[in-house]
Amino acid sequence: MPSPTSRKIEYGVTPPEVMASMRGIDFVRALFDGRLPAPPIMQTIEPFDQSAEPGMVAFSSEPGFRHYNPIGSVHGSYAAALLDSAMGLAVHSMLPVGTGYTTLEFKISFIRGMTKDTGVVRSEGRTLNVGRRAATAEARITDAKGRLLAHATTTCLVFELPAPGAKGM
């Protein structure tokens, strides 16, 4: 099984004022290289081989028995987490300083099932359009043979982050 990294991964939530002070691509790259804590959800996904360019992110993961549903295959929530993360981070990579986003909706199509024997899968997210108020993106999960396992599209709400010290910060 591939190792996500030889360094110890710190999980946590980045303070909003830190996120607000960075361009989106810088934030995503800081998450990927460990300068910022990895989101706690990533403890279940354990991504590795992460890369980010403006408008595109990619990472690998390996489904395991811990991801199984009652019928003996990887639960759809595993694919949903991979796809939502890839699309959201692709959108985030395009945002200017002081801007945030949240997923408004997403649609997933499951093409092939996954099991603990599927091996490493690759998730790639790409923006389709990033505007002042909304952004759209798409993502795909493929196996080591390049076969499509699942794909998705999303619409994200784009908004200005409150200035440090504002009510609620």
- pLDDT digit string, tens, across residues 85-117: 999 999 999 999 999 999 999 999 999 999 999
- Check residue 27 and give its pLDDT: 98
* DSSP-assigned beta bridge partners for residue 42: none
For the four alpha carbons of 14, 8, 35 and 5, in that order, the dihedral sign comes to negative
pLDDT tops 60 at residue 73: yes
Residue of 40, 42, 118 lying closest to 86 (CA atoms): 42
Question: What confidence category does residue 168 fall into, taking pLDDT thresholds of 50, 70 and 90?
Answer: low
- Check residue 9 and give its pLDDT: 87
Question: What confidence category does residue 6 fall into, taking pLDDT thresholds of 50, 70 and 90?
Answer: low
Q: From residue 160, give the alpha-carbon distance in Å to each of 92, 121, 127, 137, 157.
A: 13, 34, 19, 19, 10
Instruction: Tell me which of 5-14, 28-37, 43-52 is least confident.
Output: 5-14
* DSSP-assigned beta bridge partners for residue 142: 122, 148
pTM score of the predicted model? 0.91
